[in-house]
A and B are shown apart, each in its own frame.
Chain A
């Protein structure tokens, strides 16, 4: 009833190509945007900002970047965290070498560096495929983390080997560092995420998106219909790594405040891969759903016993949490291997014909 698409006719191809051919989708998105831009920031507690809102957005963005590469262009990568690291270190070097630079500009530029490194490590994709490529991306993962550790210039020869985000202002407001408030940081993250999501939607629904999907679905056929596989794959690596790099810069500058090299190690890569897969490969929406589940669930599981007034041992809760996340991953893969986005698509299909299913 709410999702009736009947009566909404398109009179031009242009209208049919609009972002939301069904009016209700646009309304739903508007509602979510109001929630994200107005309601959440006004009502969220510090705890909610720091453990739910900001990390969910950043993880979604990282997963979006990975999804471009893996979900759209079909190149499995296990090195996401390392490219996040490249973004974070690039951002750190930029703001410390050029303190006049606005941190927001630095964050957006930092993706350029990760894109460059991404293309270099994407070159093997021209020759190897599938799991072999996935393992090859681990070479980037391990090598880059090692480099973050050994190349003291990257962390300004800091004795601890870690980077510490300085207090930086943009338009007279502290945007990064401990002086920045969570609300400001949230808005910066939200703005960047909104912008990049919109860009990704445009890219994936147009020519580039079709080139990537063709490469993913059947690479030789793609080449035989005129797609330059090298450009397609390396382009996907570049765009993906750009987004991942920006996510990495946000991760450290807008959220964590400090970073050690091993922060960008394999577990983070896997975490982002989980989000992308549980959310749904080849879907933009899925990244958000996946991040809400993977980031939000442990927080809720952690708070739940307390809310229920149960006295639990925090270590036991943590072990149970690990077990539950593991079991949930298997559960979701069995129930809906195409992820939460597909689940939503099915629900939506039902809603469109509700209450008159044939």
Chain B
């Protein structure tokens, strides 16, 4: 396995570590439909890894496999050097994998602050009894985690709306709150499903900045799906390209950009 343990430093000075997650020969089928066919790729610590491809290429399905939402029929997911046994999504989340969703999946009935606090749930251990009395561990945890949540809120510049119900927010802000919720979990690996879908240019720029900052300041490993080629090429260290459930390219943005198969897929050339 090629440089599985070593790391390197990128041109702009970020440290890229060893492989944290590796997908090995993943195949996912729904009934007779093959969504993902024999795909393998890896994600290294500290890098921004993008998955791109046209509509219906199987990108979201791939992310759902990583999250444990779908269980592939074939192949293995290796996390931190070990094969991952079949897991429920919440168990995957507790391993330190957080994510956002293509169509925003915020908890609409709660405030921004409460939504961000749900990101902290995997870190809270107080028992039901302590919570019922609001004494001891429950109260202490609430205060400690509130501080972490507030730091994330500051970082993403959403202080002003912290007590606003999420349902009243505009689209762009919702996307940001969703990112905040994922970040609050202090994930080892952050999965972003089309973080910039439906945004205008300014919003996209803001979001790109936040993604880079997250990666930079917390050293969080990020895997993202994106439609917009331009954004992806600027942001990511390495790119996987999918088409019709198959991997057609993998490499640095430059390598991918020059890959004939990728160009064909994007330009819709018939094979």
Q: A residues near B, CB below 8 A?
A: 12-14, 17, 199, 202-203, 206-208, 210-211, 213-214, 216-218, 220-229, 235, 282
Contact = CB atoms under 8 A, between A and B. Distances in A.
A222 B69 CA distance: 12
Given A217-B107, A217-B109, A221-B105, A208 B131 contact: yes
Interface residues of B, number: 41
A13 B146 contact: yes
Contacts of A228: 88, 90
B40 interface: no
Nearest to B128: A208
B247 interface: no
B62 interface: no
Contacts of B142: 17, 206-207
B121 A213 contact: no
Contact of A282 (B99, B109, B132): B109
Nearest to A225: B93
Contacts of A216: 107, 109
A207 B124 contact: yes
B146 to A, nearest CB: 4
What 3 A-B pairs come out closest when comparing CB atoms?
A226-B93, A221-B105, A217-B107
B126 A226 contact: no
Interface stretch (B3-11, B48-56, B76-84, B112-120): B112-120
Contacts of B105: 218, 220-221, 224
B205 interface: no
A223 B118 contact: no
Contacts of B94: 226
A225 B181 contact: yes
Given A223-B90, A228-B88, A207 B132 contact: no
A202 B142 CA distance: 12
B114 A199 contact: no
Nearest to A204: B131
21 contacts: A13-B150, A202-B134, A202-B138, A203-B132, A207-B126, A210-B110, A213-B107, A213-B109, A214-B107, A214-B118, A218-B106, A220-B89, A221-B101, A221-B106, A221-B107, A223-B69, A224-B93, A224-B105, A225-B122, A225-B181, A226-B90
Given A202-B134, A225-B121, 11 more contacts: A14-B143, A207-B121, A213-B110, A214-B107, A217-B110, A221-B107, A223-B89, A224-B90, A225-B182, A226-B93, A226-B122
- Most A-side CB within 10 Å, residue of B106, B118, B181: B118
Nearest to B126: A207
Contacts of A199: 132-133
Contacts of B182: 225
Contacts of A223: 69, 88-90, 93
Nearest to B69: A224
A350 B126 CA distance: 37
A217 B11 CA distance: 43
B254 interface: no
Interface in B45-79: 67, 69
A42 to B, nearest CB: 31
Contacts of B106: 217-218, 221
B89 to A, nearest CB: 5
Given A202-B134, A217-B110, A226-B90, A210 B121 contact: yes
B239 interface: no
Contacts of A229: 90
B185 A225 contact: yes
Contact of B98 (A206, A214, A218, A225): A225
A206 B118 CA distance: 10
A203 to B, nearest CB: 6
A263 B143 CA distance: 46
A38 to B, nearest CB: 25
B150 A225 contact: no
A214 B90 CA distance: 13
A210 B131 contact: no
B147 interface: yes
B195 to A, nearest CB: 15
A17 B89 CA distance: 30
A220 B134 contact: no
B213 interface: no
A222 B138 CA distance: 21
Interface string B180-216: 0110010000000000000000000000000000000
A229 B108 CA distance: 18
Contacts of A235: 128
A62 B124 CA distance: 30
A220 B106 CA distance: 11
